[in-house]
């Protein structure tokens, strides 16, 4: 009977990539990667009662050590492993500092229609309050119920990859999202353009960082602008020069909610950025606008196509 019940359980691919969920405190050094996938699974015996888990170690990366290139490597692995039909979907463990960026890149480039659920932990595995087991269990359950696409599950909440944001440095409920109203976008590509810079606007800022990005070979620039898409006036001329040089400049906002738009006509306002040739990211966060621009440029999209992809 037990064997029969096991056969009825969904088969889930679990890929371990590191993050706090795999870390322990080393005296005098802080939290460091320590555990591989099998060791973590042994700490969560309940998983064996809800799914047949196939464990695979991809890496032991802290969140800030991820690169978009490595994210693309992960996407290719997921597509290969889910292509055979053996698995209902995949759970990916990940560092929480960059989980939202990896989730969004996966959402854009994966070819699989099966659900992919990312999760992690806010506490290390040797902390009495370690939240890894609960998050892993919730993520595995989500694979059985979620539609296709990429999701982040933390603290019992499920977030769409495009909308999820880490809004607190250490709370268990660090992740929030607004309701996903934008249909999933897929951008087929085998490569990305890594030379895309993210530059923040702030009161009194000038254009030196935009000019430096151009001078050092940036192929695209994302501005984390103020309000609904405005920058200090001294940044505007550098934006004009970047666009004239063939470099797409995408305008996102440092605000957590709302869209960027060409609303204000003063120097540096959205209207003047639009007239300079800048592209507006809508409600997409700056970090995700950078990921999307990398993917679009890697896919060979020309400036007009890049604009359509953001402003459609």
Q: What is the mean pLDDT of residues 227-239?
A: 98
Q: What is the mean pLDDT of residues 45-65?
A: 97
Lowest mean pLDDT among 128-132, 138-142, 171-175, 176-180: 176-180
Phi, psi of 68 (to 5 degrees): -60, -35
* CA distance linking residue 138 with residue 68, whole number of Å: 27
pLDDT at 4: 47
- In percent, the amount of the chain with pLDDT more than 90 equals 95
Segments making up each domain of the chain, as ranges:
2-176, 196-311
Domain 2-176 in this protein, CATH class: alpha beta
Q: What does the pLDDT look like over 74-108, one tens digit per residue?
A: 999 999 999 999 999 999 999 999 999 999 999 99
Which one is predicted more confidently, 8 or 221? 221
Q: Are 173 and 165 in contact (CB under 8 A)?
A: no
Q: What is the mean pLDDT of residues 153-178?
A: 97
Exactly one of 17, 20, 93, 189 is catalytic; name it. 20
Domains 2-176 and 196-311 share a fold: yes
pLDDT at 252: 98
Tell me the two tokens of residue 237. 């001329």
* CA distance linking residue 236 with residue 266, whole number of Å: 11
Give the number of other Cβ atoms within 10 Å of residue 274's Cβ: 18
Q: What does the pLDDT look like over 7-27, one tens digit per residue?
A: 789 999 999 999 999 999 999
196-311 carries CATH number 3.40.50.40: yes
Q: Is 20 a catalytic residue?
A: yes
pTM strictly above 0.85? yes
Q: What is the mean pLDDT of residues 227-237?
A: 98
Q: What is the mean pLDDT of residues 270-295?
A: 98
* CA distance linking residue 125 with residue 219, whole number of Å: 40
Phi, psi of 163 (to 5 degrees): -100, -15
What residue ranges in 146-215 does DSSP mark as E strands? 149-154, 157-160, 165-166, 175-176, 196-200
* CA distance linking residue 87 with residue 258, whole number of Å: 38
* CA distance linking residue 197 with residue 218, whole number of Å: 6
Collapse the DSSP code of 251 into the 3-class scheme (helix H, G, I; strand E, B; otherwise coil) and give the result.
strand
Residue 2 burial by Cβ neighbours in a 10 Å radius (0-12, 13-18, 19+): exposed
pLDDT at 5: 61
pLDDT at 1: 34
């Amino acid at each position: 009977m037990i064997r029969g019940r096991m056969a009825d359980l969904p088969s889930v691919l679990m890929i371990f990539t590191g993050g706090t969920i795999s870390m322990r405190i080393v005296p005098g050094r802080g939290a460091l990667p320590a555990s591989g996938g099998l060791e973590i699974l042994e700490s969560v015996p309940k998983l064996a009662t809800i799914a047949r888990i196939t464990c695979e170690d991809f890496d032991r990366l802290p969140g800030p050590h991820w690169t978009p290139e490595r994210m693309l490597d992960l996407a290719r692995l997921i597509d290969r492993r889910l292509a055979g039909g053996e698995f209902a979907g995949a759970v990916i463990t990940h560092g929480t500092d960059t989980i939202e960026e990896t989730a969004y890149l996966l959402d854009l480039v994966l070819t699989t229609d099966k659900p992919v659920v990312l999760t992690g932990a806010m506490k290390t595995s040797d902390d009495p309050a370690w939240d890894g087991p609960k998050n892993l269990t919730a993520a595995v359950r989500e694979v059985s119920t979620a539609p296709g696409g990429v999701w982040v599950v933390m603290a019992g909440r499920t977030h769409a990859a495009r909308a999820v944001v880490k809004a607190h440095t250490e709370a268990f409920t660090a992740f929030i999202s607004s309701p996903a109203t934008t249909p999933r976008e897929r951008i087929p590509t085998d490569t990305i353009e890594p030379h895309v810079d993210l530059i923040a606007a702030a009161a009194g800022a000038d254009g030196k960082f935009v000019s430096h990005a151009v001078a050092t070979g940036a192929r695209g620039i994302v501005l984390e602008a103020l309000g609904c898409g405005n920058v200090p006036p001294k940044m505007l001329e550098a934006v004009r020069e970047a666009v004239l040089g063939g470099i797409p400049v995408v305008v996102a906002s440092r605000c957590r909610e709302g869209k960027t738009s060409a609303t204000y006509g003063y120097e540096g306002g959205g209207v003047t950025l639009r007239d300079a040739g800048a592209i507006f990211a809508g409600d997409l966060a700056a970090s995700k606008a950078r990921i999307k621009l990398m993917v679009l440029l890697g896919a060979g999209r020309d400036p007009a196509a890049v604009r359509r992809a953001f402003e459609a």
